[in-house]
Protein backbone atom coordinates (compact mmCIF):
# COMPACT_ATOMS: atom_id res chain seq x y z
CA UNK A 1 0.00 0.00 0.00
CA UNK A 2 2.78 2.42 0.89
CA UNK A 3 4.39 1.73 -2.49
CA UNK A 4 1.18 2.85 -4.20
CA UNK A 5 1.08 6.02 -2.09
CA UNK A 6 4.73 6.80 -2.85
CA UNK A 7 4.23 6.11 -6.56
CA UNK A 8 1.11 8.30 -6.69
CA UNK A 9 2.72 11.14 -4.75
CA UNK A 10 5.80 11.17 -6.94
CA UNK A 11 3.63 11.02 -10.06
CA UNK A 12 1.47 13.89 -8.79
CA UNK A 13 4.35 16.21 -7.93
CA UNK A 14 5.73 15.83 -11.46
CA UNK A 15 2.55 16.57 -13.43
CA UNK A 16 3.26 20.30 -13.49
CA UNK A 17 6.57 19.58 -15.23
CA UNK A 18 4.53 18.60 -18.30
CA UNK A 19 1.83 21.25 -17.98
CA UNK A 20 4.10 24.29 -18.13
CA UNK A 21 5.91 23.38 -21.37
CA UNK A 22 2.70 22.15 -23.00
CA UNK A 23 1.05 25.52 -22.33
CA UNK A 24 4.03 27.66 -23.30
CA UNK A 25 2.30 29.70 -26.01
CA UNK A 26 -0.85 30.38 -23.99
CA UNK A 27 1.06 31.32 -20.82
CA UNK A 28 3.47 33.58 -22.70
CA UNK A 29 0.61 35.32 -24.51
CA UNK A 30 -1.57 35.75 -21.43
CA UNK A 31 1.24 37.00 -19.20
CA UNK A 32 3.07 38.96 -21.90
CA UNK A 33 6.35 37.08 -21.42
CA UNK A 34 9.12 36.79 -23.99
CA UNK A 35 11.23 33.64 -24.35
CA UNK A 36 13.84 34.80 -21.83
CA UNK A 37 11.39 35.52 -19.02
CA UNK A 38 9.45 32.36 -19.72
CA UNK A 39 12.73 30.43 -19.65
CA UNK A 40 13.52 31.87 -16.22
CA UNK A 41 10.05 30.89 -15.07
CA UNK A 42 10.55 27.34 -16.32
CA UNK A 43 13.97 27.02 -14.71
CA UNK A 44 12.89 28.40 -11.31
CA UNK A 45 11.63 24.95 -10.32
CA UNK A 46 15.14 23.56 -10.75
CA UNK A 47 16.55 26.30 -8.54
CA UNK A 48 14.09 25.17 -5.88
CA UNK A 49 15.19 21.58 -6.33
CA UNK A 50 18.82 22.57 -5.78
CA UNK A 51 17.94 24.43 -2.59
CA UNK A 52 15.66 21.60 -1.46
CA UNK A 53 18.37 19.01 -2.07
CA UNK A 54 20.67 20.82 0.33
CA UNK A 55 17.97 21.01 3.00
CA UNK A 56 15.87 17.85 2.65
CA UNK A 57 18.45 15.29 3.74
CA UNK A 58 19.06 17.15 7.00
CA UNK A 59 15.34 17.58 7.65
CA UNK A 60 14.58 13.93 6.87
CA UNK A 61 17.18 12.84 9.44
CA UNK A 62 15.58 14.95 12.18
CA UNK A 63 11.85 14.70 11.37
CA UNK A 64 9.32 11.98 10.83
CA UNK A 65 9.61 11.26 7.06
CA UNK A 66 5.88 10.57 6.69
CA UNK A 67 5.00 13.92 8.26
CA UNK A 68 7.68 15.74 6.27
CA UNK A 69 6.55 14.23 2.95
CA UNK A 70 2.92 14.99 3.79
CA UNK A 71 3.80 18.61 4.47
CA UNK A 72 5.80 18.78 1.23
CA UNK A 73 2.89 17.35 -0.75
CA UNK A 74 0.47 19.81 0.84
CA UNK A 75 2.81 22.75 0.21
CA UNK A 76 3.31 21.59 -3.38
CA UNK A 77 -0.46 21.81 -3.88
CA UNK A 78 -0.55 25.27 -2.30
CA UNK A 79 2.28 26.65 -4.45
CA UNK A 80 0.70 25.30 -7.63
CA UNK A 81 -2.65 26.78 -6.66
CA UNK A 82 -1.14 30.20 -5.92
CA UNK A 83 0.74 29.97 -9.24
CA UNK A 84 -2.59 29.80 -11.05
CA UNK A 85 -4.10 32.76 -9.18
CA UNK A 86 -1.57 35.46 -10.01
CA UNK A 87 -0.27 37.32 -13.02
CA UNK A 88 2.61 38.93 -11.10
CA UNK A 89 5.86 37.57 -12.48
CA UNK A 90 7.83 37.59 -9.23
CA UNK A 91 5.06 35.62 -7.48
CA UNK A 92 4.90 33.17 -10.39
CA UNK A 93 8.67 32.62 -10.26
CA UNK A 94 8.63 32.27 -6.46
CA UNK A 95 5.83 29.68 -6.69
CA UNK A 96 7.78 27.70 -9.29
CA UNK A 97 10.87 27.79 -7.08
CA UNK A 98 8.85 26.61 -4.07
CA UNK A 99 7.31 23.86 -6.16
CA UNK A 100 10.79 22.52 -6.89
CA UNK A 101 11.74 22.90 -3.24
CA UNK A 102 8.84 20.69 -2.18
CA UNK A 103 9.18 18.19 -5.06
CA UNK A 104 12.74 17.17 -4.33
CA UNK A 105 11.93 15.50 -1.01
CA UNK A 106 10.19 12.67 -2.84
CA UNK A 107 13.16 12.10 -5.14
CA UNK A 108 15.49 11.98 -2.14
CA UNK A 109 13.42 9.83 0.22
CA UNK A 110 11.94 7.20 -2.08
CA UNK A 111 15.25 5.42 -2.87
CA UNK A 112 16.14 5.52 0.83
CA UNK A 113 12.74 4.06 1.68
CA UNK A 114 13.12 1.27 -0.88
CA UNK A 115 16.56 0.39 0.43
CA UNK A 116 15.52 0.50 4.09
CA UNK A 117 12.20 -1.35 3.90
CA UNK A 118 12.31 -3.50 0.79
CA UNK A 119 13.62 -7.01 0.89
CA UNK A 120 16.24 -7.99 -1.67
CA UNK A 121 13.63 -9.14 -4.19
CA UNK A 122 11.55 -5.96 -3.85
CA UNK A 123 14.17 -3.22 -3.95
CA UNK A 124 14.65 -3.09 -7.71
CA UNK A 125 10.89 -3.20 -8.31
CA UNK A 126 10.28 -0.37 -5.84
CA UNK A 127 13.03 1.75 -7.37
CA UNK A 128 11.61 1.05 -10.81
CA UNK A 129 8.22 2.37 -9.73
CA UNK A 130 9.89 5.48 -8.37
CA UNK A 131 11.77 6.05 -11.60
CA UNK A 132 8.68 5.41 -13.73
CA UNK A 133 6.46 7.77 -11.74
CA UNK A 134 8.43 10.95 -12.54
CA UNK A 135 8.31 10.80 -16.37
CA UNK A 136 4.81 9.35 -16.24
CA UNK A 137 3.71 12.43 -14.27
CA UNK A 138 5.26 14.66 -16.94
CA UNK A 139 3.47 12.72 -19.70
CA UNK A 140 0.14 13.03 -17.88
CA UNK A 141 0.78 16.75 -17.43
CA UNK A 142 1.37 17.19 -21.16
CA UNK A 143 -1.79 15.23 -21.97
CA UNK A 144 -3.95 17.13 -19.50
CA UNK A 145 -2.66 20.47 -20.71
CA UNK A 146 -3.20 19.55 -24.35
CA UNK A 147 -6.79 18.57 -23.63
CA UNK A 148 -7.71 21.46 -21.36
CA UNK A 149 -5.88 24.60 -22.44
CA UNK A 150 -7.88 25.31 -25.60
CA UNK A 151 -11.29 24.83 -23.99
CA UNK A 152 -10.72 25.94 -20.40
CA UNK A 153 -7.41 27.79 -20.31
CA UNK A 154 -3.97 26.74 -19.12
CA UNK A 155 -4.73 27.27 -15.43
CA UNK A 156 -7.30 24.45 -15.41
CA UNK A 157 -4.63 21.88 -16.20
CA UNK A 158 -3.12 22.69 -12.80
CA UNK A 159 -6.48 22.41 -11.03
CA UNK A 160 -7.24 18.88 -12.19
Q: Convert the chain into a string of H (helix), E (strand) and C (coil).
A: CHHHHHHHHHHHHHCHHHHHHHCHHHHHHHHCCCHHHHHHHHHHHHHHHHHHHHHHHHHHHHCCHHHHHHHHHHHHHHHHHHHHHCCCHHHHHHHHHHHHHHHHHHHHHHHHHHHHHCCCCCHHHHHHHHHHHHHHHHHHHHHHHHHHHHHHCHHHHHHC
- In this model, does residue 19 exceed pLDDT 90? yes
- In this model, does residue 1 exceed pLDDT 70? no
Taking only the tens place, the pLDDT of each residue in 113-139 is 888 887 888 888 888 888 899 999 999
Q: How many domains does the chain have?
A: 1
Which residues are CB-contacts of 133 (< 8 A; sequence separation ≥ 6)? 7, 8, 10, 11, 14
Taking only the tens place, the pLDDT of each residue in 47-96 is 999 999 999 888 888 999 889 989 999 999 999 999 999 999 999 999 99
Across 96-121, average pLDDT:
87
> Do 144 and 117 touch, CB atoms closer than 8 A?
no
Across 13-18, average pLDDT:
90
Domain that holds residue 124: 2-159
pTM for the whole structure:
0.88
Please tell me the predicted confidence (pLDDT) of residue 48: 96
Please tell me the predicted confidence (pLDDT) of residue 51: 95
Please tell me the predicted confidence (pLDDT) of residue 105: 86
In whole angstroms, what is the distance from residue 29 CA to residue 152 CA? Answer: 15
CATH number at residue 109: 1.20.1250.20
Amino acid sequence: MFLLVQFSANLFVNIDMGILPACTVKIKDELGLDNTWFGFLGSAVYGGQVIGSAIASMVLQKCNPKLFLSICLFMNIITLFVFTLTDTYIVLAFCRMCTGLFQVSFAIYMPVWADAFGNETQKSTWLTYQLISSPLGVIIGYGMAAGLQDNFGWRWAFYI
